[in-house]
Structure 1
Amino acid sequence: MSRPDAISLFVLPADSRGIGYPAFDLLLLFAMGLYRREAILEAGRSLTRVPLVVGMGGALEVLVSLIQALLVPAAVMPGGRDQAMLFSLAVVTFTFCAFLARLIIDVLIRRRVLRRHLLIVGAGQRAWDLLHMLGHEGSSLHDDVTLVHDRQEDVDPRLLAERPDRIICPEGFNVVSAAIAVDADLIIVAPDERRGMNLERLLECKKAGFPVIQYLSFVEREIRRIDLKRMELGWLVYTDGFTFGALDRFLKRGFDLVVSSVVLLLTAPLILGGMLAIRFEGAGPVLYRQERVTLDGKVFSIMKLRTMRVNAEAGGAVWAAEKDNRITKVGNFLRRARIDELPQLVNILKGEMSFVGPRPERPMFVKELAENIPLYNERHMVKAGLTGWAQINYPYGASIDDARSKLSYDLYYVKNFSILFDFVILLQTLRVVLWPSGVR
């Protein structure tokens, strides 16, 4: 077999790119978070980001075509101008369809076709927390909410002020009648005190065809984190999760080796450029090593590009602050572009970290946080990661409260770990890199 024939085996034929381009753009739209519920519901975000993402996909497609043309000219670009016209038509058509789909979804939601009606059993602190989470972390798919409770005096006063017309206190606490009256799509059991609850009524609801779910399970499923403030240890023990074994760890290690090797190869010029920029800015090492905690509480030496001035922590370890004056000008750019994190790919290849996992913290901070936050050390059931569920859903934190909030995402990841979940997080990391939030 000649060299051109051998190369052509790995080249995408020109007549198949009509399928490849939309598929690749759909993957990019997902990676940029444009299929997240909140993004679909925000027309402004679609107006700005959909054309940008489609343009990125088009640019990459052109680059692939040029590379293919250099390798096997006859096999790749037989149509010349016709191929260019078809490609332009594909870009315009895909962009139009992406906007049209979001417009249709927006119309259906505004007409309440896609909205579900949630019936919350309880009207106390938990019910208030749930409404708050749905308003800030959920979507308007859940705007139709009714609360049913048995005693008027137990209703949270904030709910009386905000949702007085959506609270039902039926005599005899007939939750079945309430579910039928509001045509509930889902019943969420969220009382502050479960003792004395009429479980027979809830069973009747299930028999009548109404899905019933516990408050903590609903938060985990819909908000995609664990509510640590209201969590009961028994729920964590008896629900599914934490089931990864030797095979899962083997597959995750293989995933880490493949992905980190490819990313290290592709980003080597960025790492080298960052090193040169640090060197030109002033004296001092270009790499920075620091002790961090990973799987089972083991301590390792993490590698990063130096973004702070030399001896920045001469007075002791402190959290990074917003507009931290210890960060250099070059370091500020490297942090915002996340380039300073890339040397950690070496830590991944060495097996000290994983590509996806909880953010590695310093031993002194881990000790402090573990003393103040229950279950904090459970995040060390997996290796620390370069990116993670908390990193793509919560901005950089520099306090115990921030650490508690991020732990709710870390525990969700540990509880629901899978290779597919790792792949989803890896894709959506692109969104955080291109639209950074809370970088310090």
Structure 2
Amino acid sequence: MLKEWEQLPAYMKTEAVRPYYNILKKKKYSLFLKRTFDIVVSSVMMVLLSPVMLFLAIVIAVDSKGGVFFRQVRVTQYGRKFRIHKFRTMIVNAEKLGNQVTMKNDSRVTKIGAKMRKYRLDELPQLIDVFLGDMSFVGTRPETTKFVNFYSKEMYATLLLPAGITSEASIRYKDEAELLDAADDIDQIYIEYILPRKMKYNLESIREFSFMREIATMFRTVFVVLGKEYK
């Protein structure tokens, strides 16, 4: 679940990453519980939520032209690339018509897509990624290669663990689209302002890593999605 230091990619074997690695190295039991939880809960949820996902797939197909799923290359543990599973919430070829970051009033978002994004229903297919080990329930949100290229040496520490569906940073920046809505250069604002601040929480989560802390993050995520204010 955690490679030996010598097996890490060269760009991760730095003095900036080493303290985070040493912390996780001492948390083998929590890492074991984390992966066991991911496998068991994701498999159960896929079965229980299959009727809901089937319904959403039908609604998406009826609402707009295009496939049901959105597959995009993202970066996860140790810099490994994978194609994320999400329900499509935008028009076909949306990436070619705008930025890789979505704004609040993005015209590319479909009618049903907007509702799904509000309650994060578009992320239900990521249960597949969790089961396969490409993602975890809690962890740094998987970025595209474009944004990973702007990581500082310390930020690469977040790649010691699998990418996640939710995190403290995701909760804190749940209104990220609103922050970007008024920006002239969306990518620049994301890279220079939002990304470093989100990474502050992501790195703190590694420093304070524990299995029970991640369970608490999952509960906080549910409360926030349901409309509870979080400070």
Task: Using structure 2 for the length normalisation, give the TM-score.
Answer: 0.79
Give the 5 Å matches for 1:16-415: 237=19, 241-315=23-97, 317-367=99-149, 369-370=150-151, 373-397=152-176, 399-400=190-191, 401-415=193-207
The secondary structure found in structure 2 opposite 1:290 is strand
Q: Which amino acid aligns with 1:430?
A: V
Equivalent position of 2:219 in the other structure = 427
The secondary structure found in structure 2 opposite 1:386 is strand
Deviation at 1:263, TM superposition (A): 2.5
In structure 2, relative to structure 1, the CA distance for the partners of 1:432 and 1:268 (3 Å cut) is farther
The secondary structure found in structure 2 opposite 1:291 is strand
1:418 equivalent among 195, 210, 222: 210
In structure 2, relative to structure 1, the CA distance for the partners of 1:244 and 1:394 (3 Å cut) is farther
Equivalent position of 1:8 in the other structure = none
Deviation at 1:316, TM superposition (A): 6.3
Deviation at 1:271, TM superposition (A): 1.4
- C-alpha separation in 2, matches of 1:394 and 1:314: 25
Q: Which amino acid aligns with 2:170?
A: Q
- C-alpha separation in 2, matches of 1:249 and 1:241: 11
Deviation at 1:260, TM superposition (A): 1.4
Deviation at 1:322, TM superposition (A): 1.9
In structure 2, relative to structure 1, the CA distance for the partners of 1:303 and 1:376 (3 Å cut) is same
Q: For the Cα contact (< 8 Å) 2:91–2:109, is it kept in 1?
A: yes
Runs of 4+ deviating beyond 6 Å: none
C-alpha offsets along residues 5-63 of structure 1, whole Å, 9 cap, x if unaligned?
Answer: xxxxxxxxxxxxxxxxxxxxxxxxxxxxxxxxxxxxxxxxxxxxxxxxxxxxxxxxxxx
- C-alpha separation in 1, matches of 2:175 and 2:155: 17
Deviation at 1:364, TM superposition (A): 1.1
- C-alpha separation in 1, matches of 2:26 and 2:111: 43
Task: Using structure 1 for the length normalisation, give the TM-score.
Answer: 0.43
CA RMSD of aligned residues (A): 2.4
Q: For the Cα contact (< 8 Å) 1:270–1:339, is it kept in 2?
A: no
Larger Cα-atom Rg: 1
Q: Which amino acid aligns with 1:393?
A: R
Between stretches 330-339 and 248-257, larger displacement belongs to 248-257
- C-alpha separation in 1, matches of 2:75 and 2:138: 15
C-alpha offsets along residues 343-380 of structure 1, whole Å, 9 cap, x if unaligned?
Answer: 0000111111111111011111211x21xx45221111
Q: For the Cα contact (< 8 Å) 1:357–1:387, is it kept in 2?
A: yes
| Unaligned stretches of 5+ residues in structure 1 | 1-232
In structure 2, relative to structure 1, the CA distance for the partners of 1:296 and 1:257 (3 Å cut) is same
Deviation at 1:272, TM superposition (A): 1.5
The secondary structure found in structure 2 opposite 1:314 is helix
In structure 2, relative to structure 1, the CA distance for the partners of 1:390 and 1:300 (3 Å cut) is same
Q: For the Cα contact (< 8 Å) 1:289–1:304, is it kept in 2?
A: yes
Percent sequence identity over aligned pairs: 38
Q: For the Cα contact (< 8 Å) 1:307–1:330, is it kept in 2?
A: yes
Q: For the Cα contact (< 8 Å) 2:76–2:135, is it kept in 1?
A: yes
Q: Which amino acid aligns with 2:145?
A: P
Q: Which amino acid aligns with 2:39?
A: L
Q: Which amino acid aligns with 1:251?
A: L
